[in-house]
Structures are given as C-alpha cells and as structure tokens.
Structure 1
Amino acid sequence: MTEVSSLTGRLLVATPALADPNFDRAVVLLLDHDEEGSLGVVLNRPTPVGVADILQPWAELAGEPGVVFQGGPVSLDSALGVAVVPGEAGEHAEGPTGDGADTGGDGPLGWRRVHGAIGLVDLEAPPELLSAELGSLRIFAGYAGWGPGQLEEELAEGAWYVVESEPGDVSSPAPEQLWRAVLRRQRNELAMVATYPDDPSLN
C-alpha cells in the first residue's frame, strides 16, 4: 500500500503559475492531508466582515485584524477556528492551567492539535474555556479541499510550493503581505520568487 507522506501543518504557497483565481497568491495552511484527500484554510484572504458580526462570543479572542477570513471556496457558510496555543509545540506552557486539570499534553479542552502549537478550536465550546490558553485565534469562513490524489497532481504540475509553517503565520497582522513574507524567509531560490511582480506583463 502506498502511503501518502502527510503534509499536515505545512503551508502551500501558490506559485505564480497557478491560474485558479481562488488561489491567486494564496498561502494555505494544511489542516489535514492523507490518502483520502486534503483540507486547508487560506491564511491571507481577510473579508470586510468582523468576527463580532457573526461570532460575538469569540470576537475578543480573535487577533488583529479582527475580521473573518475566507478560508477557501468550499462551505462558505461554515466557520472554522484555528488558534495557536503558546507552549504547546513541545515547550512547557507557562504556569499552571489554573483549573488543576491535566491535559496530558493534548492542549486545552476545546482545542485539537493539528501541528505543533497550531490547532482547531471547537467554536461550539464556551470561549472562556480557552481564553486563558489561546495565543491567537483566527476565524475562517469556508475551506479549501482536495479529493484523493488531487493535491499530489497539483504539486506535480508545479502549482504550489510546500514550506514549513510558523505559528505566527496563522495570526499575521498583515495578511496581505503573507505571500511575500513566507517566500522571503525561505533559504533557497524561493526567496527570489517573493520579488515576482503582481502583473508580470508590466515588467
């Protein structure tokens, strides 16, 4: 049985060659990737809709800008919460959790680890369960999905660069700069791609 090497927790960065307007200059955090397909959220598509407008209880936990992000073209009427829990990437969390509960290294209740300190938030849970633990929260409307083998085909076609994520990517205060910022920090020829013009025909 051929096993798909999991890219969960990595970033897909759209190459300039990717023609799909849904993913132009997109930076996608992969939340799930296996032989059954892939699911992720686009980190750099803020909408004008405030978190307070649709999920008031979570608004004060959402990082700047406090808006809902369009996570992708699938299920735009559903919301996903992605949050970083400081100290969950293998470091020790600062101080006790305060409630004496031993989370066994799985992070706080209402949060499910995806990769390192990054995890999914149960938006049905009371926010106060998590408020002391979360470093940053971002709310996404919709997600990006790929069927079995579909992402592998796109990777083979050169549609995406695959790079390591950093916890700060989820909560970047300047999401419109994220595509260039992620490429610029790569220690190879990808750093050059960051200088690619928005419209190559103007070059």
Structure 2
Amino acid sequence: MQNYQNHFLVAMPSMDDPRFKRSVTYICEHNEHGAMGIVINHPLDVKVADLLKQLDIEFNTDSPAAHAYVCSGGPVQHDRGFVLHTAKDGYSSSMHLTDDLMVTTSKDILIDLTTDKAPEKFILALGFAGWEQGQLEQEMADNAWLMIPADNGIIFDLSHAEKWQSATAKIGIQTWQLTNEAGHA
C-alpha cells in the first residue's frame, strides 16, 4: 500500500463536488483503515475572531490572526475544529505530522491564536475529509486527484486562491495541462 501521509491531494479540474472543487487537501493520516485530511484552501465566510467570540474565548482584536479566515476542512464533523500549525508542543491534543508540522484539536490552542504564544503559522479549519479503507486509492485510480508531496510554503504562505495552481506548479504542471483521462503506460 502506498502511503499518502504528508502529501497534498490536488483536485483534478473535472472534480465537480463543490466541497472539493479546486481543493488542496493535506493528508494527515493514511493507513490500512483509510485516510484523513484537511482542505487548506476553501475559506468560509468566518474569521478566527468570529469563531473565538462564539466560543467565548478572549482574543486580541489587533492581531492579524484574528482576521484570518477559517477554512472548511472537509465534510466530516464540520462542527469540530482542527488547527494545522507549525510545530509547537504544549497542547493537550496534538499530533506531530512531520518535524515541523502538527495538527491540534484541543480548545487550549484557540486561547493562544491571537497572542504571542501562538504557533508561528497556522490554519484553523472546521471539519475534515475522510476516506474509508481503499476509497482514496480507488479515487486515485479514477483520476480524481493529483498527489504531490506537501509543502509548508503552500500551506501557510500563499493566499487560499493561489494554493490550487501553486500546488500543481510545484511539480512543473500548469492546471490547464491536466486532463480528465487516466493513462496507464
């Protein structure tokens, strides 16, 4: 079994599911049971400050982080928050994804997001994308996704609108070059 963990799933142009159209999904986990990822480029009409206010968490209104958009991380458990962030230990429910990337699901990170205790870079997402055993592999065979190695620069340093095209450009492909046909040599 090929392991897609720490890779991006880039939606092919033919993807018509609005939840994944032109999406870039970071794969957090992939094993014999299935896969879990977070869509990193579908912003909601909700800012971090709006979410913190709704949760009665005090925040610094002057912090740029307060004005960042929350992403729709995927269609599963869209009422649950996931913070994809540069490595910073100390939260009660975090998972190291790489040496310099983590995902945290505990509320304690939300308290820090607009303070100097926050991770250097982060994306806050509601929900995640999930695939049952064999489902992602079948979608890959059906040419629904392009798989490329993940890049923290794409995750954190680009606008949401730039991520889809930048992800394919990373491997020397422009999105107009992608076709709906799967090829087998």
What interval of TM-score do these two structures reach, taking the shorter chain for normalisation? 0.7 to 0.9
Q: Deviations over 1:60-114 (max 9, x none)?
A: 67758611110111111111111013xxxxxxxxxxxxxxxxxxxxx51214211
Q: Give TM-score, length-normalised by structure 2.
A: 0.79
Distance in 1, matches of 2:65 and 2:158, equals: 8
Partner Cα separation in structure 2 for residue 35 and residue 81 of structure 1: 25
Q: Residue type of the partner of 2:175?
A: V
AA matched with 1:193: T
* Structure-1 residue corresponding to 2:106: 123
Does 2:28 correspond to 1:46? no
Over aligned residue pairs, what C-alpha RMSD do you find? Answer: 2.6
- Aligned identity (percent) is 25
1:14 maps to: 11
SS in 2 for 1:177: helix
CA contact (8 A) 1:108 1:133 kept: no
Asked if structure 2 preserves the Cα contact closer than 8 Å seen for 1:48 and 1:67, the reply is yes
What TM-score do you get using the length of structure 1 for normalisation?
0.73
8 A contact 1:74–1:143 mirrored in 2: yes
* Structure label with greater radius of gyration: 1
* Structure 1 letter corresponding to 2:75: P
Unaligned runs of 5+ in 2: 179-185
SS in 2 for 1:178: helix
Change (3 A) 1:59 1:34: farther
Q: Higher strand fraction: Structure 1 or Structure 2?
A: 2
Q: Secondary structure at the match of 2:153?
A: helix
Q: State the distance in 2 between where 1:79 and 1:38 align.
A: 18
Contact 1:22–1:72 (8 Å) recurs in 2: yes
- Give structure 1 stretches of 5+ with no counterpart: 86-106, 197-203
